[in-house]
Structure 1
Amino acid sequence: MADNNQDDLMVIASWLYYQERLTHEEIAERLQMSRVSITRLLQRARAEGIVQFTITKPLPEQYKLENRIKEKFGIKSVTISKTMADPIDTIREVCRSAAFSLNKLLFPGCRLGLAFSSTLSYIVDFLDSTSAPKNIIIQELAGTYLSPNAPYGISWRIAEKLNAHINSLPVPVVVQSEEMRNGLLNEPSIREAMQGIPLVDLAMVGLGRIGHDSTLVKTGHFTPEIMKSLKEKGAVGDILLHFYDQDGNYVSNPIENRMIILKWDEVVRIPNVIGVATGQNKVEAIKGALRTGTIHHLVTDMDTALGVVQD
């Protein structure tokens, strides 16, 4: 084989590699050449068109859409799940994907930031405790919302599933007065819990929308009148009870001084934030959230994603 010209050697090496499935080492032995030489021959064969590949099926629409959103908003990743006939089934599929995304980003000793979200309440069903990294710390990012149907918060349920320690904020997310808020924040246990917020490595958040029937109104934290005033200011959604407009600019709300929650600049500094949202009524909220620069990973469904990518 030493006498063969380079073109013949490229063809022979390519045939042995792609058709006969030989390894680089096996080809090198057969042709009495070095492994490095075989690697270079195969690289040249592809570069010069001697070896060509044909994919007979187009890229899945889901993959193309994920890339379009990622490039449009400059975020790290987008995961799109199927849109189901039943909205609850769609939420569950999105949360299944969100659990998978979360699992990929968790690492031993990770401090995971969480707060109440009606969407994220479904994620617990899809978390795998057997594959969870060790020594995870769940950091609550806001006071707790509890109801008769949810006797303990989503943070506690996820901590239980991941065998994680929890740094909790056992106080209401909205209190009656600024004086009460300041008093609670001065409590040693609450102050200590809040000190863990700047240490968060990763957060998973729901993306809320503005409306009289939004979760914030249903929970009683915000009145329809407050939501109306926020809408008049241009607000389209919220991340952890912090509001923003369609361009991603911060919008102040009238009860900020009564909320026990991380500050907006603390949200901005979290290095990895997974935003989870689904539904046509959340398209504008998702777009605005992606423009804030605080969301690095988006998990949604196909129909919602189609709305997000449109101008």
Structure 2
Amino acid sequence: MIDGEASLATRAAWLYFAAGLTQSEVAERLNIQSTKAHRLIARASREGMIRVFVEGPVAECVALENVLAERFGLGFCRVAPDLGEGDWPLKALALEGASFLRQILERGEHKIIGVGHGRTLAAVVEQLPQTPARDVQFVSLLGGLTRKFAANPFDVIHRLAERTGAEAYLLPVPVFANSVADRAVLMQQYGIAEVYALAREASLLFVGVGQIHSDGFLVSSGMIKPDEVVELKRAGACADLLGRFFSADGQVLDLDLSARATSMAPADLRAHRIVAIGGGLAKVAALRAVLRSGLLHGLIIDEVTAQALVTDKPETTSGKTKTKGRKGK
């Protein structure tokens, strides 16, 4: 049943923010008192009914974008202005990520978009306004279950379908299988193999970047065990992207855990256009490692973290010279 008061708050917010009416004009249009119009608009803002996108460059952020794109050979980079959020700039990243995704969908250039999962991507989708994209297919790039077969609370595929009306395909398997043999069996199952094949056809992959830490998302969500973090660190891993682990110099590590990941192999990833989103000073090492790998076409990052990457000395990618604006599939 539709909440009439919530509907009225939405209409008031639309008239105020989109149509540019004053609160008095909103009250007159809706035949309510001006004080009630004020309360309705405040409620709409408080309950997250409003998605605001401020279009236009910020000079300091543009300068950081140019340096990062040049240094790491990116096709593009977006730096979200600092909102003073502290260690984890989730809102800044979510707003910039939602703006990017909205523009991608409005242009309609990608018919199949692969998505990862995690807290940052989930926040991006929460900031995304209703954006019709019925001719687009979204597909999960790795399993959406923990080892206990509990649903990942930060799986974004269903939220994307709700926001866009697009078809969305989930991989109903754990992020990591119990063994390489188990992975092979899982990925050959009817339905799962088709979703995996669809992911390989995606023209854009939108993913998060994870750090290797005992308190990190992989452990807290039940994707891996604490003792596996110890093994990852011992092997030199400092970053995670779609279940693939990277050393500080950007090398993709050949690990048993990676071989059990229900995601594309590194060779397949290199054939795709990958846009990563991530930030926070705790992730500087992880972001630098993934950037050094040469896998990324684009990066969405916050201002403080971008500044930390820029002030570090220039990096070289993993054993090859990169060309700016590299495009994959």
Sort the TM-score into its range (normalised by shorter chain): 0.7 to 0.9
Counterpart amino acid of residue 230 in structure 1: L
1:116 is matched with 117
Deviation at 1:289, TM superposition (A): 0.9
Residues 25-44 of structure 1: pairs in structure 2 closer than 5 A:
none
Deviation at 1:88, TM superposition (A): 8.3
Give yes or no for the alignment of 1:145 onto 2:109.
no
Counterpart amino acid of residue 279 in structure 2: T
What SS does the corresponding residue of 1:275 show, helix, strand or coil? Answer: strand
Query: d(CA) in 2 for partners of 1:149 and 1:139?
Result: 16
1:91 is matched with 90
Deviation at 1:195, TM superposition (A): 1.1
Counterpart amino acid of residue 253 in structure 2: V
Residues 75-224 of structure 1: pairs in structure 2 closer than 5 A:
75-87=74-86, 90-106=89-105, 107=108, 110-130=111-131, 132-145=132-145, 153-224=155-226
Deviation at 1:134, TM superposition (A): 4.0
Counterpart amino acid of residue 84 in structure 1: L
Q: Deviations over 1:27-77 (max 9, x none)?
A: xxxxxxxxxxxxxxxxxxxxxxxxxxxxxxxx8222111111111111011
Query: d(CA) in 1 for partners of 2:88 and 2:193?
Result: 39
Question: 228, 248, 256: which is aligned to 1:254?
Answer: 256
Kindly report the root-mean-square deviation, in angstroms, between the aligned alpha carbons of the 2 structures: 2.3
Deviation at 1:278, TM superposition (A): 1.1
Asked whether the equivalents of residues 87 and 281 of structure 2 are also in contact (C-alpha less than 8 Å), the reply is no
Asked whether the equivalents of residues 109 and 135 of structure 1 are also in contact (C-alpha less than 8 Å), the reply is no
1:52 is matched with none
Deviation at 1:225, TM superposition (A): 2.5
Query: d(CA) in 2 for partners of 1:63 and 1:109?
Result: 25
Deviation at 1:80, TM superposition (A): 1.2
Query: d(CA) in 1 for partners of 2:182 and 2:218?
Result: 21
Deviation at 1:244, TM superposition (A): 1.0
Asked whether the equivalents of residues 278 and 300 of structure 2 are also in contact (C-alpha less than 8 Å), the reply is yes
Q: Deviations over 1:243-280 (max 9, x none)?
A: 1112211112332343322222121111x221111110
Give yes or no for the alignment of 1:229 onto 2:231.
yes
Deviation at 1:148, TM superposition (A): 7.8
Counterpart amino acid of residue 216 in structure 1: L
Distance 1:247 1:105, change over 3 A: farther
Query: d(CA) in 2 for partners of 1:291 and 1:104?
Result: 27
Query: d(CA) in 2 for partners of 1:234 and 1:255?
Result: 13
Distance 1:109 1:98, change over 3 A: closer
Deviation at 1:302, TM superposition (A): 1.1
Distance 1:165 1:84, change over 3 A: same
Asked whether the equivalents of residues 160 and 168 of structure 2 are also in contact (C-alpha less than 8 Å), the reply is no
Asked whether the equivalents of residues 140 and 169 of structure 1 are also in contact (C-alpha less than 8 Å), the reply is yes
Q: How many aligned residue pairs are there?
A: 251
Asked whether the equivalents of residues 127 and 161 of structure 1 are also in contact (C-alpha less than 8 Å), the reply is yes
Q: What are the ranges of 5 or more consecutive residues in structure 2 without an aligned counterpart?
A: 1-57, 314-329
Query: d(CA) in 1 for partners of 2:109 and 2:69?
Result: 27
Q: What are the ranges of 5 or more consecutive residues in structure 1 without an aligned counterpart?
A: 1-58
Query: d(CA) in 1 for partners of 2:88 and 2:204?
Result: 26
Distance 1:121 1:88, change over 3 A: farther
